Amino acid sequence: MHNATIKSLSADLAARKLSSVEVTQQFLLRIKALNQRYNCFITVDEEKSLTQARAADALRGAGHARPLTGVPVAQKDIFCAKGWLTTCGSKMLSNFVSPYDAHVVERLNAVGAVNLGKTNMDEFAMGSSSETSHFGPVKNPWDAATVPGGSSGGSAAAVAARLAPAAIGTDTGGSIRQPAALTGISGLKPTYGVVSRYGMIAFASSLDQGGPMARSAEDLALLLNVMAGFDARDSTSLERPAVDYARDLAKPVAGLRIGLPREFFAHGVAPDVEKAVGEAVGQFKRLGCETVEVSLPNMALSVPVYYVLAPAEASSNLARFDGVRYGYRAPEYGDLTDMYKKTRAQGFGGEVKRRILIGTYVLSHGYYDAYYIRAQKLRRLIAQDFIEAFRKCDVIMGPTSPTTAFRLGEKAGDPVQMYLSDIYTIAVNLAGLPGMSIPCGFDSQGLPVGLQIIGDYFAEAKMLKVAHQYQLATDWHDRAPPGIEIN
């Protein structure tokens, strides 16, 4: 049962071969047995999950089922869920029980999906390895001595270890795609504004975007059908007609033009990664696609631009955590100012403090024009590069990450090297484009390699078709990490 996809679980539930209670109990047993090994989940509440499962079975019995009714879905602990501890991987919110649901959680609840638990993550989504969590690092199921990527590493590892059939995550600079690549699963970051950010604890508001994580592109489409939709409570939510993201999955990809940016295959990509991605492109050629060379000349600037803009927005968004209204408060302090200082000094971890300080610096008088305004201008140039590239191609492909999973602690002392882990993903967020990662092979150590597929604005259905046709021809997405079976 735990190796089943959302599609097959939904079919078995519809045929009454399984009940949602049985499915949920199976995954809860696996979490109990394996979570200590991988540290995927921060919060599990068996009674809440089983209550939802019983309600889902009642929905099916009454003939009101949808494809996700009764399917367990893990939630990154950045999404507020009413009555659930919602920590954002931080000490600052370690005691915060949300009084309301995020829009995405509302939509999942409305179709009868089961919240399997809240997954571990980098503190306030700031990281590329899921090592900065207040609750300890997440470990990669393919090799527990390596990272699963970040910041949605808990969601990715839970799906890879078959502790959940699917999960939701967030992507600010690659935080769905990079962990999907490092753990051998599929993950999609939609066009900015397609999925509401309401109730998703903010890191960098112009970059954050929620998205689905699962084993296959077909499952991603089923999840996105529920997650996407207009929400008046989010000023950046886009009011568009409803889309069936699974509508084109069965269509062939013959004639598709694949853009290969020369910058994606320059110095810095590991040979095993380049080889696996090259073989994946070869498979698409056998499916009838053609390749064209494109250029993203400003892509090299995406990392410095991101690490000006994202910290600037974070410094503003995280100002609300001051110990006054909710969350952690320093136990001893003098006056109000002292309480602010001690609460934030004690409540935030090192990486979060680093980004707050950087953001405050670039927004300060005398540096705003030199750094922040210049970064915004470069952001426009990066987006324009993609617009020009899509005049020549239908989708862009390349590596998701320059390397496979690195060892725990390997880059913890060198923030710049850690930041460069997102060199191929950040530009997509800066431009607001959709991007996804699917498994395409392994390196010499048996660690997964991810293929990144980037589409033009609102091209999610096309991207999912491309990924699905590749997955029909290959089995990389069906491979499971060793040692995840339990009695």
Catalytic residues: 76, 151, 175
CB 178 within 8 A of CB 422: yes
What sign does the dihedral 251-165-122-46 (CA atoms) show? Answer: positive
Spatial distance between the Cα atoms of 61 and 76, rounded to a whole number of angstroms:
30
Contacts with 204 (C-beta within 8 Å, 6 or more apart), sequence order: 172, 309, 310, 311, 313, 314, 317
- Residue whose C-alpha is closest to residue 262's, from 389, 418, 450: 389
- Partnered with residue 344 across adjacent β-strands are none
What sign does the dihedral 424-429-431-437 (CA atoms) show? Answer: positive
**Exposure of 119 in the CB half-sphere (CA atoms within 13 A):** 34
Spatial distance between the Cα atoms of 165 and 213, rounded to a whole number of angstroms:
9
- Residue whose C-alpha is closest to residue 138's, from 405, 381, 403, 357: 405
**For 174, phi and psi rounded to 5 degrees?**
130, 15
**Burial grade of 285 (CB within 10 A; 0-12, 13-18, 19 or more):** exposed
- Tokens at residue 224, please? 């996105």
Contacts with 349 (C-beta within 8 Å, 6 or more apart), sequence order: 90, 91, 123, 132, 134
Spatial distance between the Cα atoms of 202 and 126, rounded to a whole number of angstroms:
11
